[in-house]
Amino acid sequence: MMTNLIKKKPVLLAIDIQKGFYDEDYWGGNISNKNIESISSNLINKWRELNLKIIHVKHSSTDPNSKLHPSNQGHEFCDLTKPIKDEIVITKNVNSAFIGTNLKEILDKDKHEAVIIIGLTTDHCISSTARMSGNYGYETYVISDATATFDKKSLDGNHYPSELVHTISLLSLDNEFAQIIDYKNLIKKI
Pure H helices in 110-182: 127-135, 162-173
How do strand 159-160 and strand 179-181 relate by DSSP bridges? unpaired
Q: Give the C-alpha separation, 162 to 59, whole Å.
A: 21
Q: Name the superfamily (CATH) of residues 6-189.
A: Isochorismatase-like (3.40.50.850)
- Write down the domain spans for the chain: 6-189
Entry pTM = 0.96
- The reported pLDDT for the residue numbered 2 is 46
- Whether the link from the prior residue into 121 is cis, omega within 30° of 0, is yes
Amino acid 75 reads: H
3-class DSSP assignment, residue 93: coil
Please name the helix (run of DSSP H) or strand (run of DSSP E) that holds residue 114, with its range, or none: strand 114-120
* Residue ranges in the chain whose pLDDT is less than 50: 1-2
Nearest Cα to Cα of residue 18 among 96, 61, 67, 74: 74
pLDDT in tens, 86-134: 999 999 999 999 999 999 999 999 999 999 999 999 999 999 999 999 9
- The reported pLDDT for the residue numbered 78 is 97
Backbone φ and ψ for 65, nearest 5 degrees, come out as -90, -5
- The reported pLDDT for the residue numbered 25 is 87
Please calculate the CA angle 154-157-163 and round it to the nearest 5 degrees. 55
How do strand 152-153 and strand 159-160 relate by DSSP bridges? antiparallel
